[in-house]
Chain A
Amino acid sequence: DTAVSQTPKYLVTQMGNDKSIKCEQNLGHDTMYWYKQDSKKFLKIMFSYNNKELIINETVPNRFSPKSPDKAHLNLHINSLELGDSAVYFCASSHPAGGLEKLFFGSGTQLSVL
């Protein structure tokens, strides 16, 4: 019954590897997001995606790419992982509300790059 679910919850990997984090929402929302939360708890937008538009934060390295097989899923692929990628990654979704969208977050994926 989880509204926004992401897997895995923990991901430990070596530098240089490629990894993916999956996200699924069963709320029927049109827009999905990926946020990165660093060690200082700063939550920064990475991507916003609906079936019409992908909005990319220009500060996100192109090693990160979102992939959406359908409206209910937005997966995050990361190539050539670096130490600085260690963080908690949150998936979220929302229904269109004229810029007043209420975000529903997944439980987060703690990524540790060694």
Chain B
Amino acid sequence: GQNIDQPTEMTATEGAIVQINCTYQTSGFNGLFWYQQHAGEAPTFLSYNVLDGLEEKGRFSSFLSRSKGYSYLLLKELQMKDSASYLCAVSASGGSYIPTFGRGTSLIVHP
């Protein structure tokens, strides 16, 4: 099976930077994904990492270390609209390559 762990909740201030961590244990790792889910809405794709390193996409960046089974999502210049759940998901041969999600991190951005 796959085990994905991320903090349940985080708070941050508007304009600040926040890092959301995700650790995973899986067999046959293929890729790691980050999704954003606003309350009452569907998850939407943010980014994916296949190789080690940092992938930057505007205010959002995602990092992967395959040897450590670790990823983080970095959100810069936080805005109130960034308040949402951030879901880490892993694709692996051990899971038939179907994205398996962690429990999500609820991020609250306050003024």
Bound state CA distance, A107 and B38, in angstroms?
11
B7 interface residue, CB < 8 Å from A?
no
Is B101 part of the binding interface, using a Cβ–Cβ cutoff of 8 Å? yes
Please measure, in the bound complex, the distance between the C-alpha atom of A102 and the C-alpha atom of B93, giving whole angstroms.
Answer: 16
Contact with A along B1-41 (1 / 0, CB 8 A): 00000000000000000000000000000110101010001
Number of A interface residues in the complex (CB < 8 A): 22
Most buried by B among A43, A104, A106, A107: A43
Expressed in whole angstroms, the Cα–Cα distance for A55 and B98 within the complex equals 9
Q: Which residues of B contact A42 (CB under 8 A)?
A: 101, 103-104
Q: A55-B96, A100-B50, A103-B35 are in contact. List 16 more A-B contacts (CB 8 A).
A: A41-B106, A43-B43, A43-B104, A44-B101, A45-B100, A45-B101, A48-B98, A98-B30, A99-B30, A99-B91, A99-B97, A100-B31, A101-B91, A101-B97, A102-B33, A103-B99
Tell me which residues across on chain A come within 8 A of B103, comparing CB atoms.
40-42
Q: Which residues of B contact A98 (CB under 8 A)?
A: 30
- B residues with a Cβ closer than 8 A to A are 30-31, 33, 35, 37, 41-45, 48, 50, 85, 87, 91-93, 96-101, 103-104, 106
Interface flags for A86-114 (1: CB within 8 Å of B; 0: not) read 00001000000011111111111000000
Cβ A41 vs Cβ B30 within 8 A: no
* A-B CB pair tally, cutoff 8 Å: 57
- Establish whether residues A100 and B48, one from each chain, have CB atoms under 8 Å apart when the complex forms: yes
Q: Are A99 and B43 in contact (CB under 8 A)?
A: no
Q: Is the CB of B98 within 8 A of A33?
A: yes
Query: For chain A residues 3-26, which have a beta carbon within 8 Å of chain B?
Result: none
| Residue in B closest to A4 when the chains form the complex, CB atoms | B42
Residue of B30, B43, B85, B91 contacting most chain A CB atoms (<10 Å): B43
- Do residues A105 and B98 form an inter-chain contact, with CB atoms below 8 A? no
Given contacts A90-B42, A107-B41, A108-B42, contact A101 B104 (CB under 8 A): no
User: Which residues of A lie under 8 Å from residue B98 when comparing CB positions?
Assistant: 33, 45, 48, 55
CB–CB A41/B85 < 8 A: yes
User: Which residue of chain B has the shortest Cβ distance to A105 in the bound complex?
Assistant: B42
